[in-house]
Structure 1
Amino acid sequence: MSGLKRLPLLFKQPVRRASFMDKMSKDVRSKNPLKWTDYGDGLNASRPPKHADIVVIGGGVMGSSVAYFLRRQAQAGVSVCVVERDMSYTRASSALAVGGIRQQFSVPENIYMSLYSAHFLRNIKQYLCVDDRDPPDIQFNHQGYLTLASPDNAHILEENFKLQTELGAKLELLSSTGLKERFPWINNEGVEVGAYGLENEGWFDPYLLTRSFQQKAESLGAQYCRGEVIGFECNQVDKGMGVPGYYQGQGKRIKSVKVRMPNSPEVIDVNCAMAVVCAGSWSGEITSMLGIGQGSAEDLLDVPLPVEPRKRYVYVTHCPDGPGLDFPMIINLDGVYARREGLGGNYVMGSCPFPDQTEPDCDNLNVDYEFFEENIWPSLANRVPAFENLKLKSAWAGFYDYNTIDQNAIIGHHPAYPNLLLATGFSGHGIQQSPAVGQAISDLIFEGKFVEIDLARMGFERFISKRLVKEANIY
């Protein structure tokens, strides 16, 4: 914790600096040449430009948050181009996520990012409102997480609770008896203790958050382009051009990003000063085009970006006699979760595969209904007896940008490419961390360092130095 910096401004003003665009009148902004496209649903995204100062690869919630903060913080004349191959977001992880936010982590950086993002989301109408449009409503349900622990794992949850509260999270630690008193609908058998979030936890609509970031970023001048990144053109960095914080100036610089137009063989080279990879589950494929993971230790390209897609199922059920408004996002002892969806007796449920099961095939978005019957329903019916009478209504599958090494975010520069930044590998935490990460990437570019939250430990270099960042989860 000693290396982690928390500024007094953290919970007072997530966006610290008024940008050039903010200082201009509405009429002047509407005529500003930086505003290439009309903000809207993004389906009519423009062609990529021949030049953009910063190219953001991926226009989901992470890429759109980065684009928003870049344009908010940018000096006049700094152009931002966002390249996204699926502007409908039909297969995007952002749109298919559950949309939860919590501070119940054991890594301080994750706790801080979640606290920052919670403050941003609570004030989203102030930050992401676009001119005369209706203020964005992401349907934030302020209901805490309830994480349960068995006698064997109670000490881990208690240690996590101590850290979380020390860093500013508002939680309550409940004994097995206290759980039953607070939540009469629960079966507390096998539960030693539970941690319940009192503030800044809950869930929201991830699709609406993605669109809100996108529309605001476009209104500030970010250009969204539909296309697929298929390669890069790079220049060698001279050995004598040492860059502070890098390995004596070794490596290359990205000169341009090659974007193939949809339904066409045409490829446009977008010359740029910087590129930010926010491609989610496919970030590993993008960076492999730069030779990352295919070189040697001497050129800092021997370690691949450890990000790949992992498929997760989400099930929507109906139980008219189930718990009501006092039902939080409950995390059972085995990691199976459930939360309320609206007020009509509907619930969202799911889980990661159990240790003895293989990961699902990521070539499609098909749903495994047997997984629900064999794993999800029995677990939750035991913990919440009313769920014995639930009925499965629908289901969907989505992808995580899964960090295969330590399951935590990868944020910051790549050591072999001084003008390449990464914001990926969130392993299911990307939706809730997106505001904090957007601010962090913007600070790295414009300030040359992390300002709000010190995320240096989350950089790619940890895979080279073997200083991994792991969560002490209780399941």
Structure 2
Amino acid sequence: MLSFYHYYPSTLQMLRTQVSLLRRAGPGVSVLRRLASASPCAWPRSCDVLVVGGGAVGSSSAYHLKQRAGRDLSVVVLEQDPTYERASTVLSLSNIRQQFSVAENTLLSMYGVTFLRRASELLAVEGQDPPDVSFFPRGYLFVATPEGLHQMEENYKQQTSLGAEVAWLWPEQLRQWYPWLTFGENIAAGVVGTNNEGWFDPWSLLLGMRRKAESLGAVYLPAKLTGLEYQQESNEGHRATTDGDQTTTTPTRSLTTAQMRLRNGEEREISFSKLVVAAGAWSGEVGRLAGLGTGEGILASPIPVEPRKRFVYTAHAPEGPWEGCPVYNDYTGMYFRPDSSNPQHFFCARSPLEEEEPDASDLSVDHSFFDTHIWPLMVERCPAFGNLKVKSSWAGYYDYNTLDQNLILGFHPVYTNMCIATGLSGHGIQQSPAVGRAVMECVVDGRSHSINLDRFGFGRILTRQPLKEKMVM
């Protein structure tokens, strides 16, 4: 991985100078190396909006904020991993689907695919090639057991009512559409996306959103958040019913200043008007810097997001159903899809059960997990996978919402200028365009309105009332 420090433009002239320098580097130099060659300029001491996290959700937030408000709103993005080496965005399989049990998730991903189809236009920057996100609309195929048939039917009815293009397949139709699929009485039906589902290039989307945000004036800082300061707003405070049906009142506060540490150990700080928490798997840590989870009353409730490690394996299967294969999702939780850039190769994965959760302290891969929990299921569904060989593997993090594996979106009830956007639990890359737009609407208009996301607010965290997504992979 390249050692990448992006130094940000403070003026349009500086941006033009950087572009000129990057062009001289020649086409053989990677995007990251070109960015690393740019010259540093003055460190901003204040901004209107500070976004913590420069991955897909943070960069989408920065893009939508600058696209809406332009130069009248200063946006700074803080990214502790400027190489994106451990970023969930680039370690994702970058699949996108409309099949969810929670209506808001379907709507979020429907906007996501609309954004992907227009990315080359929306993210175009003058003088540079438009991003190519390489969207492959191959569909998602979910299958259900007789016990899960009713839930699948309810999901299907809701998805079609929202405009999702999905098809119901009985076993006879499954055999016609996917002759390589082997199943007995344990598969009762399936649903496949006939349009607007598939996969795409996460790098191109991330760098496209970041580059566009920067061209509009957003500033990216390569540093780690280490502290937050606040001032009390009101003695009357916010009343809320917390877990256990206890009503508590906590004085409202406003976050004012962020402390951060550069990679060379230097300490800096920046003041801001609004804070956006888009730190993915590390959002719980950001919350703790503000005392969430360590205080009293409402402040006793943390941002319930933690890193959960997930493995992905690349396998060569010369007899596998590479041509025309969708993202296949088994009722057991195993899933696979073709590697569209590498014939006869497949990406394979399965989310572990709670008791199988691996240690998330590093990104090492457990290869025995494939042998015992994935491969046997793949062979059961498609015998052609019997002679596959694993060629490579990697691990990445889910920003796992321990309450209900769903997005947390909106302002905190005590820290009234802290907008939280995290906890997507594996859906972050596909829903990042819509979540970034929702963040923009919260910051500028006070609430998300293009899609009503009120049910994803922090209130359910306080009352411990989960909004369960039944189709988590």
When normalised by structure 1's length, the TM-score is 0.88
Taking a change above 3 Å as real, the CA distance of residues 252 and 474 of structure 1, as seen in their structure-2 partners, is closer
2:200 equivalent to 1:199: no
Q: Which residue of 1 aligns with 2:3?
A: none
Does the Cα contact within 8 Å between 1:104 and 1:164 map onto a contact in 2?
Answer: yes
Does the Cα contact within 8 Å between 1:46 and 1:224 map onto a contact in 2?
Answer: no
Equivalence map 1:386-405=2 (5 Å) = 386-405=384-403
Residue 326 of structure 1: how far off its partner (Å): 1.6
CA distance in 1, matches of 2:222, 2:135: 29
Residue 395 of structure 1: how far off its partner (Å): 0.3
Does the Cα contact within 8 Å between 1:34 and 1:222 map onto a contact in 2?
Answer: no
Residue 233 of structure 1: how far off its partner (Å): 1.3
Matched residue SS, 2:72: coil
Does the Cα contact within 8 Å between 2:10 and 2:219 map onto a contact in 1?
Answer: no
Taking a change above 3 Å as real, the CA distance of residues 249 and 440 of structure 1, as seen in their structure-2 partners, is farther
CA distance in 2, matches of 1:448, 1:419: 10
CA distance in 2, matches of 1:37, 1:351: 46
CA distance in 2, matches of 1:87, 1:393: 28
Give per-residue Cα distances to partners, 1:221-266, cap 9 Å, x unaligned: 10011001000111111236999xxx999321111111111122x2
Which amino acid is the alignment partner of residue 291 of structure 2? G
Equivalence map 1:134-213=2 (5 Å) = 134-189=129-184, 190-213=186-209
Which amino acid is the alignment partner of residue 251 of structure 1? T
When normalised by structure 2's length, the TM-score is 0.89
Give per-residue Cα distances to partners, 1:42-67, cap 9 Å, x unaligned: 54676641011110001011110000
Q: Which moved more, 1:68-77 or 1:401-410?
A: 68-77
CA distance in 2, matches of 1:322, 1:72: 44
Q: Which residue of 2 aligns with 1:347?
A: 346
Which amino acid is the alignment partner of residue 93 of structure 1? S
Equivalence map 1:59-458=2 (5 Å) = 59-189=54-184, 190-239=186-235, 250-264=251-265, 266-297=266-297, 300-342=298-340, 344-355=343-354, 357-458=355-456
CA distance in 2, matches of 1:46, 1:427: 36
CA distance in 2, matches of 1:318, 1:105: 30
CA distance in 1, matches of 2:439, 2:274: 12
Matched residue SS, 1:96: coil
Matched residue SS, 2:421: strand
CA distance in 2, matches of 1:54, 1:358: 40
Unaligned runs of 5+ in 2: 1-8, 20-30, 240-247
Q: CA RMSD in A?
A: 2.3
Residue 322 of structure 1: how far off its partner (Å): 1.1
CA distance in 2, matches of 1:249, 1:71: 33
Residue 34 of structure 1: how far off its partner (Å): 10
CA distance in 2, matches of 1:38, 1:408: 40
Taking a change above 3 Å as real, the CA distance of residues 279 and 134 of structure 1, as seen in their structure-2 partners, is same
Does the Cα contact within 8 Å between 2:94 and 2:199 map onto a contact in 1?
Answer: yes
Residue 409 of structure 1: how far off its partner (Å): 0.5
CA distance in 2, matches of 1:218, 1:84: 14
CA distance in 2, matches of 1:392, 1:249: 54
Which amino acid is the alignment partner of residue 302 of structure 2? P
Q: Which residue of 1 aligns with 2:5?
A: none
CA distance in 1, matches of 2:193, 2:238: 46
CA distance in 1, matches of 2:378, 2:17: 48
Q: Which residue of 2 aligns with 1:7?
A: none
Q: Which residue of 2 aligns with 1:20?
A: none
Give per-residue Cα distances to partners, 1:258-311, cap 9 Å, x unaligned: 1111122x22110100110111111101110110111122xx201111000000
Aligned residues: 440
CA distance in 2, matches of 1:474, 1:91: 22
Matched residue SS, 1:301: helix
Does the Cα contact within 8 Å between 2:10 and 2:217 map onto a contact in 1?
Answer: no
Give per-residue Cα distances to partners, 1:101-154, cap 9 Å, x unaligned: 001101011011010111111111110111121111111111100001111111
Which amino acid is the alignment partner of residue 273 of structure 2? A
Does the Cα contact within 8 Å between 2:251 and 2:414 map onto a contact in 1?
Answer: yes
Q: Which moved more, 1:440-449 or 1:232-241?
A: 232-241
Does the Cα contact within 8 Å between 1:230 and 1:259 map onto a contact in 2?
Answer: yes
CA distance in 1, matches of 2:10, 2:283: 34
Q: Which residue of 1 aligns with 2:52?
A: 57
Which amino acid is the alignment partner of residue 118 of structure 1? V
Does the Cα contact within 8 Å between 2:104 and 2:451 map onto a contact in 1?
Answer: yes
Q: Which moved more, 1:460-469 or 1:55-64?
A: 460-469
